[in-house]
């Protein structure tokens, strides 16, 4: 994998492409990096509950406005992820 200063600090279990861009959503699943029974959320990385947005994410669009929108979406996905984890935890208790 080519070094990418924006993503080189991430742990190895966060799947990236050859240029170092973080794979999210369906791209993670296609690359075989998804281990959960459910499908990953659109901006979710190969590490469940970890989301990526903006220029670090594999995407043809590299614009500030897109990154801001993705950031807002990531927050919504975090809330959804946490709510589902809480439900799963309660059902196991």
- Give CA–CA dist 20/49, Å, rounded: 20
Domain assignments of the chain as residue spans, ordered by start: 25-92
pTM: 0.72
As given in the structure block, the two tokens for residue 39 are 């499908």
* pLDDT string in tens for the chain (93-residue length): 455 778 889 998 999 999 899 999 999 999 999 999 999 999 999 999 999 988 888 776 666 667 777 888 888 888 988 998 888 888 887
Neighbours of 38 (CB within 10 A): 9
Predicted local distance difference test score (pLDDT) of residue 72:
80
């Amino acid at each position: 994998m080519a070094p990418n200063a924006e993503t080189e600090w991430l742990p190895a279990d966060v799947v990236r492409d050859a240029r170092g861009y973080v794979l999210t959503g369906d791209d993670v699943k296609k690359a075989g990096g998804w281990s959960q029974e459910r499908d990953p959320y659109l901006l979710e990385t190969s590490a469940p509950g970890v989301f990526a947005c903006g220029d670090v994410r594999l995407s043809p669009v590299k614009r500030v406005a897109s990154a801001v929108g993705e950031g807002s979406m990531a927050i919504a996905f975090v809330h959804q992820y946490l709510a589902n984890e809480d439900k799963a935890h309660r059902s196991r208790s």
